[in-house]
Amino acid sequence: MSKRFYTRRKFIQQVALGASALAVPGVLAEELVVTPRQTPGPFYPEKLPLDTDNDLVVINNSLTSGVGEITHLTGRILDKSGSPIRNAMVEIWQVDATGVYIHHDSPNRDRYDNNFQGFGKFLTGSKGEYYFRTIKPVAYTDRTIHRTPHIHMSVNVKGEKLLTTQCYIKGDKMNAEDRILQSIRDKKARDSTIIPFKKIPGSKVSELAAHFEVVMGFTPEA
């Protein structure tokens, strides 16, 4: 079975789980909160891996998966009026289960899990939807820098990177002390980046689901 077929099948399965697992209630346009910009950090891959698809858990058709709690990350890319943005290229990057980035300058790079992709892309569909199979993020530490678990995300429209942000785990104790997260002064904007990572009912391997809606601060030109 090819990896491409597997990820597409998993996407359909996750959508079929229903709103309780993956979706959030719709909101009126005036209630939308623009997703705040966040630093891309120093460890955006200096060289992209050969495999850059939306399944970060398995590289190409390897029989060995990356270590970590498998998480199905879904969401939509919306404009400020709430309309979906189609054909937006969504990128994510994050540490492996030991807190190491794929970037070669990442501390403890020799410990990196070579079965974890570390970076992925997905082109949004007609409803602005995106989907990644990844792992639940873990904390990152570099001498004096201590980061709460997070996933970096960028949104590219027509080849231009228009937003870089991060999403965080609801309820993580490190959130309150994370200087980058707390630098978002507006509470509603800050809260919009903190999302639940919930166990998927019936999953035999305790897979998780997380849903992150991204609201751009503009309406793209046609």
pLDDT tens-digit profile of 193-222? 999 999 999 988 899 999 999 999 877 665
Residue 123 has pLDDT above 80, yes or no: yes
Domains contained in the chain, number: 1
- Asked whether residue 211 is assigned to any structural domain, the reply reads yes
Residue 18 has pLDDT above 60, yes or no: no
- Asked whether residue 220 is assigned to any structural domain, the reply reads no
- Asked whether residue 221 is assigned to any structural domain, the reply reads no
- Asked whether residue 68 is assigned to any structural domain, the reply reads yes
Q: How many CB atoms lie within 10 A of CB 80?
A: 13
Which pTM value belongs to this model?
Answer: 0.87
Domain around 55: 3-215
Mean pLDDT of all residues belonging to the chain:
87
CATH number of the domain that 205 lies in?
Answer: 2.60.130.10
- Asked whether residue 209 is assigned to any structural domain, the reply reads yes
pLDDT of residue 4: 45
